[in-house]
Amino acid sequence: MAASSRAQVLDLYRVMLRESGKFTSYNYRTYAIRRIREAFRENKNVKDSAQIQILVNKAKRNLEIIQRQDPKFSHFC
């Protein structure tokens, strides 16, 4: 797998923010958006490609978690 390019990381960032916007709960939504922004900003100067890959994988796992919070279940709230 090719190392994640800048464009791919930015794409991931955009997708994560978009998916986080779908949380129906105010607290979860604001937390997700804030935390994603903070995490990407904090790591923006990482140069080591192995480290970058680890961080990107972690972000992808978190993106899956967000996507699995199915808005259909929000009717229970």
Partner 1 sequence: MLWRAVWRAATRVPSPSPPRRGLRLRGLDQSPSPSGFSDVAPPMEETVLRPLYMDVQATTPLDPRVLDAMLPYLVNYYGNPHSRTHSYGWESEAAMEHARQQVASLIGADPREIIFTSGATESNNLAIKGVARFYKLRKKHVITTQTEHKCVLDSCRSLEAEGFRVTYLPVQKNGIIDLKELEAAIQPDTSLVSIMTINNEIGVKQPIEDIGRICSSRKVYFHTDAAQAVGKIPLNVNDMKIDLMSISGHKLYGPKGVGAIYIRRRPRVRVEALQSGGGQERGMRSGTVPTPLVVGLGTACEVAQEEMENDHKRISLLAERLIEKIMNNLPDVVMNGDPQQHYPGCINLSFAYVEGESLLMALKDVALSSGSACTSASLEPSYVLRAIGTDEDLAHSSIRFGIGRFTTEEEVDYTAEKCIFHVKRLREMSPLWEMVQDGIDLKTIKWTQH
Judged by the rule CB under 8 A, the positions of this chain that interact with partner 1 are 14, 17-18, 21-33, 38, 62, 65-66, 68-69, 71-72, 74-75, 77
Cβ 49 to partner 1 shortest distance, Å: 22
Q: How far apart are CA 44 and CA 40, in angstroms?
A: 6
Give the phi and the psi of residue 25 in degrees, each rounded to 5. Answer: -85, 130
Number of H helices, E strands in the chain: 3, 0
Q: 3 or 30, CB closer to partner 1?
A: 30
Q: 52 or 63, CB closer to partner 1?
A: 63
